[in-house]
Chain A
Amino acid sequence: MQRRTIDPRATWVDDVRALGLVYCWTGDRPYWDESAYYEFTADEIDRLEAATRELQRLCLEAGQHIIDGNRFAELGIPAAAVDAIRRSWDAEPPAIYGRFDLAYDGRDVKLLEYNADTPTALLESSVIQWFWMEARFPHADQFNSLHERLVEKWRDIRPTLTGPLYFAHADQGSGEDLMTVTYLRDTAAEAGIETLIVRMDQIGWNPRQRFVDMEERAIRAIFKLYPWEWMVREAFGARALDAGTQVDWIEPIWKMLWSTKGLLAILWDLFPGHPNLLPAHLNDPGGMTTYVRKPLLSREGANVSVVTPAGTTATSGSYGAEGFVYQAIAPIPCLDGNYPVLGAWVIDGEPAGIGIRESTDRITSNTSRFVPHLFLPA
């Protein structure tokens, strides 16, 4: 893996905005950063793909272990959600996607965490970096089959739908959530599905029709870019958990098993020494003197502490009351002053590509930059 610098396209802002990346700036700094790119060999891509597939396998085993061992409480999963999770896990309703965050130093691939419920950076991974490569390096290749795999998965789901498929997002000023669900709508529409959009706060509860949209139409199937750990604690949470409500939620509620960072400790318990895992423990560092402390349910790097004998650095935020996981520090290389984290995408359980975010420190946050990648065919 090499980090190479390059002049950005003179028209890059217009180019990426036209493709939906309306959130291409973070304050006065580019979020989409094409002043550099990462170059891999085909062999490296094969290894990343194999590691992603292996991690997905491990997570499936971990999910079953959590259910069989009734380990919900220690992972920060509320008791009220347990029955719905069990039902959902057994029924295997449609699940679309997830994103492993990986540390890769050119040799080892290590899991940092799994964003299995509401991963973002999808549009830039699937579309923006693809068109960047076609414009700048048309003869190169890219680990990116996200678009086709999404369309393929929606085609699988289509016969099970009895009405339009809703796409719900939170009201958010940057446009990131809106564009993420709009892109997913595009892939569903390409599969022949009728889609509608609704904001989470617009979803209504009607005692006769159950969940309804703004036009009082019943919602039977909905993709929600909204975390289950938030949903279950909000006013409509109990209704969403009710088996009688008969709404197909995508992602399904069993994704709560994977969206808690306590999963990292479960994985290490089950597969100690696995080459794609880092030592991780619940509640305390387990004897480690150098580690990262992460809240079980935090997002975008909030409330993360990096503890070393030389001192502690920490990010701010409002998470942590739910408990922490303690994970060994990953071997993230520092390239030209940047720490890259690889987001390895899984669509319908299969590896589907990568997107890279880099930061000037070890904690990837909402100020990190997305940098495109390519690889050279063997």
Chain B
Amino acid sequence: MKRSQRISLGLVPMASAAFLAACETPQQRTCVDQSGRVVADANCNTSSSAGASGGWTAGNPGGYRWYWYQGPGPVIGARAPSGGQFTAPALTDTVRGGFGETAAEHAGVAS
């Protein structure tokens, strides 16, 4: 078999559009609930435990936390754009950042 018959793409066009849009927008912060949906910032502001670090804690029954990402502005009720990050949850002993250091030195992987 030397040739394709049909190529269908689902995620690629969406990721491409999001990437290009993100190039033109600054990093921003929004408040999300545990399902990843955008909620009013007040939910994070009034929860002392969410605070600037955005961690999950027992004092945060709503499960709200800050989410940092690049892309279009947040819409309350919509799912937050993918590709962003949370600060690591505060009640776990998970360690992050153990991979990726060399790529940062070399600016990419391509070969």
Contacts and interface: CB of A to CB of B under 8 A. Distances in A.
B109 A170 contact: yes
Contacts of A186: 8-12
Interface string B84-100: 01101100111111111
A146 B98 CA distance: 33
Interface string B1-37: 1111111111111011001100000000000000000
Given A197-B82, A202-B96, A230-B103, A142 B13 contact: no
B107 interface: yes
Contacts of B107: 172-173
A19 B103 CA distance: 25
Contact of A142 (B3, B83, B92): B3
A145 B2 contact: yes
Interface string A192-211: 00000101111111110000
Contact of B98 (A214, A234, A300): A234
B92 A172 contact: no
A174 B98 contact: no
A358 interface: no
Judged by DSSP, the binding face of B is loop
Contact of B4 (A146, A174, A216, A236): A146
Interface string A164-190: 000011111111111100110110011
B2 A204 contact: no
Contacts of A173: 107-108
A105 interface: no
A205 B16 contact: no
What is the interface of chain A mostly: helix, strand, loop, or mixed? mixed
B1 A148 contact: yes
Nearest to B12: A20
Q: How large is the interface on B (under 10, 10 to 19, 20 to 34, 35 or more residues)?
A: 35 or more
B58 to A, nearest CB: 16
B104 interface: yes
Contacts of B7: 126-127, 130-131, 147
Interface in B31-56: none
A227 B100 contact: no
* Interface-centre pick from B4, B88, B101 (highest chain A CB count, 10 A): B4
A71 interface: no
Nearest to B110: A120
B86 A22 contact: no
B109 A234 contact: no
B11 A234 contact: no
B98 A203 contact: yes
A19 B2 contact: no
A227 B83 CA distance: 22
A177 B108 contact: yes
Contacts of A142: 2-3
A9 interface: no
B15 A226 contact: no
B69 to A, nearest CB: 12
